[in-house]
Amino acid sequence: MEVRRMQAGDIALLLGERVTTAVAVTTGVRITPAEALVRPSTRPGADYQCNLAMSLAKPLGRPPREVAAAIVAALDADDLVETAEVAGPGFVNFVLRSDWLAARVAAMTGDERLGVAATAAPRRFALDYSSPNVAKEMHVGHLRSSIIGDTLLRLLRFAGHEVVPHNHLGDWGTPFGMLIEHLVDEGWTNGHSARGAEHSIGDLNAFYQQARKKFDADPAFADRSRLRVVALQGGDEPTLALWRQLVAESTRHFQQVYALLGVSLTPEDTYGESFYNPYLAATIDELEQRGSTETSDGAVCVFPPGFTNRDGDRLPLILRKRDGGYGYHVTDLATVRYWTGERGMTDLLYVVGTPQAQHFQMVFGASRAAGYLDEDHTTVHIGFGTILGEDGRTIRTREGGSVKLVDLLTEAVQHAAKVVADRSELDSATQAEIARAVGIGAVKYADLSGNREKDYVFTWDRMLATDGNTSVYLQYANARIHSILRKAGQAADAGGGAPIVLDHPAERALALRLAQFPAAIEAAVEGYAPHKLCQYLFETASAFTGFYENCPILATSTTEPVRRSRLVLARLCSQVLTRGLDLLGIEAPERM
């Protein structure tokens, strides 16, 4: 079951419908508008192109150019197409009518959704992202999941779907035995250490390493830690109280990062590993009753079909370990069971790094076999590449640790503040606000503008860049538009319902881009691909600067009707940029 395409907003599909009809009339072949292979054209002098005739030539036994000519001859599209011409081996190039394009753009100006239709087939998405670990600081590795997830949340909701975000906190399992034992050794009770010092997450980060070190060096401590895990999983109240301290401390830290990042996750969205603990026994019982479990080396496992290890043996998901504790796999199965069963979600999305690809395939396979998923459910592992250091290996600081997310974000804002201070004449409080919007935006855009599945090399230059294809370029274009609108004053308002004329090529090029906004949203949603929206926004901002250079608005030489028309275009462009940036979780200041 795929997300249904939103036809209403996509010009290519509109043309596709006309081609579909023409093809049926002239050849009798029945296709869907999407199969008409109409695409935006990159060739000068063509807005869209149809690639259908070449593929139809063979089955029809006619030369491709002849098929193309027949399509053109039968085409009924004079209302929106200026010219439709056969070109090359059998392409059909379309030039849209400028008055049609103007009307199309004019319709967007009165529309809150800027021409984007809400989906006709809304789905219920459970969206898993961010997923930091309790008692550890967030590092750059959490950046991608957090902001890709946040963007998908915004995009899917804008497209008209129901989305429930959930933060799968690493808050349970073996490490907590040693952490809690170490807490006890340090004399912690009821949130205070014996020394009375305030504990912060920074302390806890070091705290984790101390615990780890002790665990590795001291067998007695390791034994106590293992017993503590059993106590935790068994619901021992004093143990739980200590555990809650760790979670509370960490949650406070996560919320600080989310606030800085503009990620909307709240503690209410937390569905950590511990949340599924009460469901684990029932999950295993169900699977055992179905007869889908096996005992292997003393561990209770399921073996999803099609996965083998180095010796050709089947790969298990371990539900219950030999020592009686739960394996983490059962939590993943219980998660699927919960969101499809108890919450009635139709689509489960997991924004987790690509190294986990096989793990998720196994979990999905087992979940399907267990009946937690039926034909209408989809499960998608939205993988993303690893952030690498400049040496091409997993990123590390000089000390060998990972780069803290707060450090990255703070650095980005400070860097932006310097740039803003050099250029802006605004007061310092406003400048600080803008520096935040610019700095955080730059980090997010750098991460979102590439194909998410590829690894990428982290460089400060890349994260802090403020020229070229960056969020700053988009923000700057938008700020310029606002500047014009401010200067135009009353005239800008009066331009609201003014007719749009597209005489200058730069006006027309901008209008065409603006009209493609719905298609860009659709492409980003369909592929869970924020970079497609980034690409579109950059092209739109480029079209605007071309327009800006060539089409003066406020100059005295510009006639009143033209000025009004250009004001409408400029304002709509600002709305598109602002909305697009918002969907990426990036602010669009009116001044910078």
Residue 399 to residue 404: CA distance in whole angstroms: 12
Q: Please state the length of the chain.
A: 592
Residue 536 to residue 545: CA distance in whole angstroms: 14
Least CB distance to RNA at residue 537 (A): 12
Least CB distance to RNA at residue 386 (A): 6
Instruction: Name the DSSP letter for residue 5.
Output: P
> Whose CA is closest to 135, among 239, 246, 256?
246
Instruction: Name the DSSP letter for residue 340.
Output: I
Least CB distance to RNA at residue 3 (A): 15
Beta carbon nearer to RNA, 266 or 356: 356
Residue 260 structure tokens: 């800085």
Least CB distance to RNA at residue 344 (A): 25
Beta carbon nearer to RNA, 261 or 567: 567
Least CB distance to RNA at residue 481 (A): 9
Phi/psi of residue 385, nearest 5 degrees: -70, 160
Beta carbon nearer to RNA, 245 or 277: 277
Beta carbon nearer to RNA, 165 or 170: 170
Beta carbon nearer to RNA, 40 or 122: 40
Least CB distance to RNA at residue 308 (A): 6
Beta carbon nearer to RNA, 252 or 322: 322
Sign of CA dihedral 144, 147, 150, 156: negative
**For residues 333 and 283, is the Cβ–Cβ distance under 8 A?**
yes
Residue 153 structure tokens: 């949340």
Least CB distance to RNA at residue 161 (A): 22
Least CB distance to RNA at residue 506 (A): 9
Beta carbon nearer to RNA, 329 or 579: 329
3-state secondary structure of 188: coil
**For residues 279 and 290, is the Cβ–Cβ distance under 8 A?**
no
Q: Which residues contact 25 (CB under 8 A, 6 or more apart)?
A: 74
Least CB distance to RNA at residue 532 (A): 6
Beta carbon nearer to RNA, 59 or 187: 59
Distance of CA 143 to the CA centre of its chain: 12
Least CB distance to RNA at residue 35 (A): 11
Sign of CA dihedral 461, 467, 472, 473: negative
Residue 50 to residue 470: CA distance in whole angstroms: 32
Q: Which residues contact 556 (CB under 8 A, 6 or more apart)?
A: none
3-state SS, 234-245, equals: CCCHHHHHHHHH
Least CB distance to RNA at residue 342 (A): 20
Beta carbon nearer to RNA, 213 or 322: 322
CA angle 532, 535, 540 (to 5 degrees): 125
Least CB distance to RNA at residue 307 (A): 8
Beta carbon nearer to RNA, 50 or 126: 50
Least CB distance to RNA at residue 147 (A): 15
Least CB distance to RNA at residue 170 (A): 4
Residue 117 to residue 9: CA distance in whole angstroms: 6
Beta carbon nearer to RNA, 289 or 556: 556
Beta carbon nearer to RNA, 114 or 567: 567
Q: State how beta strands 293-296 and 299-302 pair.
A: antiparallel
| Helix, strand, coil content of the chain in percent (nearest 5) | 55, 10, 35
Distance of CA 10 to the CA centre of its chain: 21
Least CB distance to RNA at residue 493 (A): 16
b/e burial code for range 543-553 (CB count within 10 A of at least 16 → b): bbebbbeebeb
Beta carbon nearer to RNA, 163 or 563: 563
Beta carbon nearer to RNA, 46 or 370: 46
> Whose CA is closest to 341, among 318, 316, 370, 317?
370
Q: For residue 488, count other CB atoms closer than 10 A to its CB.
A: 20
> Whose CA is closest to 137, among 313, 434, 341, 397?
397
Beta carbon nearer to RNA, 128 or 163: 128
Phi/psi of residue 270, nearest 5 degrees: -75, 120
> Whose CA is closest to 420, among 410, 409, 411, 433?
433
Residue 341 structure tokens: 């069963």
Residue 157 to residue 160: CA distance in whole angstroms: 5
Q: What is the DSSP string of 26-56?
A: HH-----GGGG-EEE--STT-SEEE-HHHHH
